[in-house]
Amino acid sequence: MLVFAMLGSAIGQSAATFTWRGESYPIAAAGSDFSVGDAARALGFAVSRDTTTGVLTITGDGHQLVAGPGTSQVPVDQRTVEIGKPMRSVRGVLYAPGDFFEKVLFPLARATGTFDATKRQWIVVESRGTPSGSEPAGPLSVDVAVVHVEPTTQVVLRESASARFEPRLIESGLQVRWIDRKVTAPFAERRFDDPLVAAVRFEGDTATVVFREPGLTARAYPLTGPDRVVVEVGRAVEAPPVEPAAPPPPAVPALTIVVDPGHGGTETGAVGPGGLQEKDVTLQIARRVAAAIPRVVASRVVLTRDSDSAISLDDRTSLANHEKAGLFLSLHANSSRATGAHGSETYYLSLESSDRLASEAARRENQPVPGSTPLPGSATNPDLDFILWDLAQSAHLNESSRLAEAIQRELNVVSKTENRGIKQAPFRVLAGATMPAVLVEVGFISHPDEEKQLRSATFQENVASAIATAVGEFFAKRPGTAPVSGPTPGTTPSAR
């Protein structure tokens, strides 16, 4: 059992005690909120803090969550959990409301908690299920896929169910040991013709990814939907030699941002009750976004199309990869059979939709361009889609979520509507993007009033300004990227 005991303070902050498995720890509290870092460390999680943004990354037991000031939708592994009010920072300490601990942190530690309002005391106990000493869960089946995309190789260990694991780096490779689970291996050993991975071996509850050469590095992390462990293998980056007199640092190369106006050509997209076509309004807004972004962050903006032309979903992402873009923004106008549907929505990629409406939006936007030929890895081959997701977007999940939240926050002001929230869905146009990528539904073209707004140059300019502001905020909090500034001389949208 663990206990938070609130102690009063005259300055609005207070001390509390945290008792867990017989040990007591100090924990800070502010009103009805508690220190996220103190609680996470007491539960045995590793906590790292970004000194620039104050964002905490919490890892342990095969899980990862990211939390920072203003966060109300918490990325946990590959899902997002909404809490009642945003987290806040007080004197550099991140505090969260009680439901963060009940819905997010305690479940990761396999614990549950209740709050005694009279005593102002949290009482938390370990969850029942598979406590130490009980019978382990059933056998765990594992399948293996190995794919190399320069400069790394990813070994995907797809699991039949979610399971805890411990990674261990050894001289010859990286081992993944599943905890308290009997593993049904697909083979004892399989060799691979890969530049970095020589073989994968199974022995008991452990899988070993064998390096092809000494000196390689690797990391392992979990993903869900479907459940899997991803082992990423690469070469260590050597530090450059120190020169006696270093030359002046080179100018920061121009950041490239790709803006994708949805639909085009024979693919009109959604059509409003007054006849406004989605392909036209997305191009108009995209041009305004392309002009607004360089005024906020030094960058070169490229449009996937600058005319009424048809481009396949895969070609749009390919252009962003070819341009080595730092960001991919796909613009669309929403449509719904529900007459009252209105407002904006911002999505980032997931193989599973966050709700039914998100699933419908993805199905609508994933319609192929008439006459185009589906590429391998389409919906007819979900395993290839699953690998594609791992390779392209898993490393950018947290950044895509943060960008989506920033854009949605700005668009709520423009739309003057209740927050529809950020969502996840399997949008084809986002799959395969090797950078943070989001899809923005700027409004419901099916709603008569919003269709009129979408025709308005003033409304389009306000939407473009809101998106540009969010992009500037995103890069201002991202170390090592182009500085926020005025427009770079000579930067103009590039037509495809």
What are the domain boundaries of the chain? Answer: 2-126, 140-235, 255-476
**Of 230, 229, 218, nearest in space to 172 by CA:** 218
User: Which residues are paired to 29 by β-bridges?
Assistant: 14, 34
Q: What is the pLDDT along the chain (496 residues), one digit of tens a residue?
A: 555 544 443 334 566 676 666 666 777 888 888 889 988 888 888 999 988 888 899 998 888 888 999 888 888 876 778 888 999 999 889 999 988 888 888 788 877 666 555 655 666 667 654 433 344 457 889 999 999 888 899 999 999 888 888 899 899 999 999 987 889 999 999 999 999 999 999 999 999 999 999 989 998 888 877 889 999 999 877 656 666 666 666 555 579 999 999 999 999 989 999 999 999 999 999 999 999 999 999 989 999 999 999 888 888 888 988 999 999 999 999 888 877 788 888 888 766 654 556 556 556 665 665 555 444 434 444 444 545 554 555 667 788 889 989 999 998 888 776 567 777 767 777 777 888 999 899 989 999 999 999 999 999 999 999 999 999 999 888 765 555 554 443 334 444 4
What is the Cα–Cα distance from 394 to 262, expressed in whole angstroms? 23
Cα-based angle 294, 297, 302 (whole degrees, multiple of 5): 45
Residue 99 has a pLDDT of 86
Amino acid at 303: L
- Dig out the tokens for 431 from the structure: 């799959």
Domains 2-126 and 140-235 share a fold: no
Distance CA 459, CA 467 (A): 12
Q: Residue 280: which region, alpha, beta or left (left: phi > 0; alpha: psi -120 to 50)? A: alpha
CATH ID of 140-235, from 3.40.50.11400, 2.60.40.3470, 1.20.120.530, 3.40.50.970: 2.60.40.3470
Provide φ and ψ at 40, rounded to 5°.
-65, -40
The structure tokens listed for 104 are 């997010």
Task: Give dist(CA 381, CA 227) in Å, integer.
Answer: 17
Beta-carbon-side half-sphere exposure of residue 485 (alpha carbons within 13 Å): 12
The architecture that CATH gives domain 255-476 is 3-Layer(aba) Sandwich (3.40)
Q: Please name which of 492, 131, 437, 152 lies closest in space to residue 300, comparing C-alpha atoms.
A: 492
**Measured CA angle at 307 (ends 368, 277), to 5 deg:** 60
> Under a CB-based contact definition with an 8 Å cutoff, are residues 478 and 487 in contact?
no
Rounded Cα distance between 138 and 53, Å, is 42
For residue 450, the one-letter residue type is E
CA–CA gap between residue 82 and residue 84 (Å, rounded)? 7
What is the residue whose two structure tokens read 């050469």?
213
pLDDT of residue 230: 92
Task: Select from 3.30.457.10, 3.40.50.2300, 3.10.290.20, 3.30.43.10 the CATH code of 2-126.
Answer: 3.30.457.10
HSE value, Cβ hemisphere, 13 Å, CA-based, for 67: 29
User: Is the CB of residue 174 less than 8 Å from the CB of residue 218?
Assistant: yes
Closest CA to 54 of 365, 386, 402: 402
User: Cα–Cα–Cα angle for 287, 292, 296, nearest 5°?
Assistant: 150
